[in-house]
Amino acid sequence: MFQKKDKQPTACASGASPSVNASRDADDEKALKENLSRITRKIVVLSGKGGVGKSTVAVNLAVSLAARKLRTGLLDIDIHGPSVPTLLGLQGAKIAVTGENKIHPVEYNEYLRVMSVGFLLSDHNDAVIWRGPLKYGIIKQFLKDVEWGDLDYLIVDSPPGTGDEPLSVCQLIDRAEGAVIVTTPQEVALIDVRKSITFCRQLNMPVLGVVENMSGFVCPHCGKESPIFKNGGGKAMADDMGVPFLGAIPIEPGIVQNGDAGTPFHNAAVQNATPAQRAFSSIIDALNPTKGERS
């Protein structure tokens, strides 16, 4: 026989009364708003599929903004496959937790602060097995409890697709600048990136533009270009969906070497920039990064 339910539950599973929970939620909301209010522009980097170079773009975007002396934060919410620590050579970096349960991010340099679930794992081979509510909780904590300080930009590297993590971050960030969407040129990737654009529209997240990565390969020996994954598909799709196209980055073996070595491939100081570095610079210019208040 079923047991009769209490008419008026007086406590939740945590043992706290509903009124205590409600005031805790209100305190959380206030703390979240306060922390985010110190960050002028928040950009979420999304992709329809994995492996298209989304983290590479997010990391190099953050490093480039920091190189322009813009105070930047990089938040990696790819809970199941955090690659930001590797791409920045920060494996093994430890975060500090202050007395008030605030989390101090890892300082990559004077202008760039980084937070990733990867910093919380004792072994980088560990797998995180979490369901939606737990993911929402940790993303909220990263936005609320990490001491980002006053930032010009927060770049969020989100996992591919339109699941729990991108949904949580888009809901938690109030007044985001918008999303940068990374794709590769072939049709299987473009189908999914269209979904990412629809996802942004449903959540009122402006689309700042599409980046077509791995767009053709220029042979370093003969200079001939081979469209390994085709090219031009990202621009055609962006035009069709009515969103800006930010630029195309070719395939360059140096990008893999840089990623594996933990050094960003975009380096504003290089004299003889490669085609990919030049392409990346013009993507940053197209985003028109600025200091100061939003208009």
- The site for ligand ADP (CB under 6 A) is made up of 47, 50-56, 83, 213-214, 249, 251-252, 255-256, 259, 276
249: phi > 0 → left, psi -120 to 50 → alpha, else beta; which? beta
Smaller CB distance to ligand ADP: residue 35 or 213? 213
> CA–CA separation, 148 vs 142, rounded Å?
9
Minimum Å distance from CB 9 to ligand ADP? 43
98: phi > 0 → left, psi -120 to 50 → alpha, else beta; which? beta
Smaller CB distance to ligand ADP: residue 162 or 213? 213
Q: Which helix (H) or strand (E) holds 194?
A: helix 187-202
Minimum Å distance from CB 260 to ligand ADP? 7
Smaller CB distance to ligand ADP: residue 73 or 159? 159
Smaller CB distance to ligand ADP: residue 36 or 255? 255
Joined tokens for residue 237:
């799709």
> CA–CA separation, 166 vs 161, rounded Å?
8
Smaller CB distance to ligand ADP: residue 16 or 256? 256
**231, 185 contact by CB (below 8 A):** yes
Minimum Å distance from CB 116 to ligand ADP? 13
Minimum Å distance from CB 146 to ligand ADP? 21
Q: Which helix (H) or strand (E) holds 233?
A: helix 233-241
Minimum Å distance from CB 78 to ligand ADP? 7
